[in-house]
Amino acid sequence: RVVVVGSFNVDHVWATATLPNPGETLAGRYSTGPGGKGFNQAVACARAGADTCFVCALGDDPGGDLARSLAADDGIDLRALRCDAPTGTAGIYVDGEGRNSIVIGAGANGELSTPHVEGQTDVLGRAAVVLAQLESPCEAVIAALRAGRAQGATTMLNPAPANAATTRELLALADIITPNETEFAGMVTRHVGERIDGDAIAALDQARLHALCRELLPAGTVVVTLGASGCFVSHAEEARRGDDKAFHRLAAEQVRPIDTTGAGDAFNGALAAALARAPDAAFAAHLRFASRYAALSTEHEGAALAMPRHGDVIARFGS
Ligand code: ADP
């Protein structure tokens, strides 16, 4: 089983020709749907074939009802703290060139508490993987990873969004971290004290990237996702043994992307599901599955609702 701890948002999206300036009123095509990194990853994990539990905080409102009904549709065991605060929201403007401006109303997500997380002893006790992101209070994330580790689960932290601050204490609780390029560059600046350009990471020398990963997470695995350039992985134990498989790059699958929103969430959910399904299989095989799963997720518009199923990956790629 996988326990995902994180956020649920109701996304409100306006597609406009340009992004609004201060004082300006624009017209745009409106759509709404579920979002939040935690929920997206939980849906990906469930559809990738894992028994999935989602620990979150929801308001007593239509947004909360939406989360409850969608979780049930995907067979997700929902453990929601019921809050007086409204369910989380995101207001998103997307312009004609795909650029966006986003405002998050954390609402109930900001109230996810340590006691609520620690109270899920029945599921945490049987978890193979605990997966968290940083759209929830840091103490709640720390409690989740700490409980997972104490129970012998593999702990995974997706350190997103990029503007969320990480601490050494938090990172040390993760067996695996999965930053994208921007998040990786931010963490290297903060924790290693070196300035690197997020856009230049895919082109960086692999041995150099590996050395930065080792400094960032000395005892764990770092997977840097590189969008259409695939991903890079760096392992601690193999590095200690001087194994030539301590780091490698995996190219992205060739697909026809129409919307890459949530690709990172697809990747994380699928990686967690693969780790839970076959904990003794090679990590490279798990990465390949996550990469295939994430690639397929980009062929449909939307995030949570666009997540593929395990069978879609098999049908397209054979494994
Ligand atoms: P995020 O959404 O967090 O920024 P990325 O953009 O790095 O994450 O995407 C996560 C993963 O999704 C990548 O490592 C890759 O495997 C897959 N992916 C993303 N964009 C594409 C694409 N255009 N084609 C194929 N795979 C992609």
Q: How far apart are CA 136 and CA 146, in angstroms?
A: 15
Residue 21 DSSP symbol: P
Q: Which CATH number fits domain 2-6+37-84+112-179+255-317: 3.40.1190.20, 3.40.710.10, 3.40.50.2000, 3.40.50.2300?
A: 3.40.1190.20
Ligand 1 within 6 A of 263 CB? Answer: yes
With 90 as the cut, is the pLDDT of residue 301 above it?
A: no
Name, in order, each residue with C-beta under 8 angstroms of 168's C-beta and a sequence gap of 6 or more: 191
Q: How far apart are CA 158 and CA 172, in angstroms?
A: 13
Confidence class for position 239, pLDDT limits 50, 70, 90: confident
pLDDT, tens only, 92-128: 999 988 888 999 999 999 999 999 999 999 999 999 9
With 80 as the cut, is the pLDDT of residue 319 above it?
A: no
Q: How far, in Å, from the CA of 14 to the mean position of ligand 1?
A: 23
* Ramachandran category for residue 210: left, alpha or beta (phi over 0 → left; psi -120 to 50 → alpha): alpha
Q: How far, in Å, from the CA of 266 to the mean position of ligand 1?
A: 9
With 90 as the cut, is the pLDDT of residue 228 above it?
A: yes
- Catalytic residues, by residue number, are 265
Residue 126 DSSP symbol: T
Known binding-site residues for ATP equal 180, 225-230, 264-265
Ligand 1 within 6 A of 198 CB? Answer: no
Ligand 1 within 6 A of 297 CB? Answer: no
Average pLDDT over residues 229-236: 97
Q: Return the residue whose CA atom lies nearest to atom 5 of ligand 1.
A: 227
Return the minimum-mean-pLDDT range out of 150-154, 160-164, 250-254, 257-261: 257-261
Ligand 1 within 6 A of 9 CB? Answer: no
Give the rounded percent of residues in the chain with a pLDDT score beyond 70: 100
Averaged confidence pLDDT in the chain: 96
With 80 as the cut, is the pLDDT of residue 220 above it?
A: yes
- Asked if this assembly's ipTM is beyond 0.85, the reply is yes
Read off φ and ψ for residue 215, nearest 5 degrees: -70, -35
Confidence class for position 266, pLDDT limits 50, 70, 90: very high
**How do the domains of the chain map onto residue ranges?**
2-6+37-84+112-179+255-317
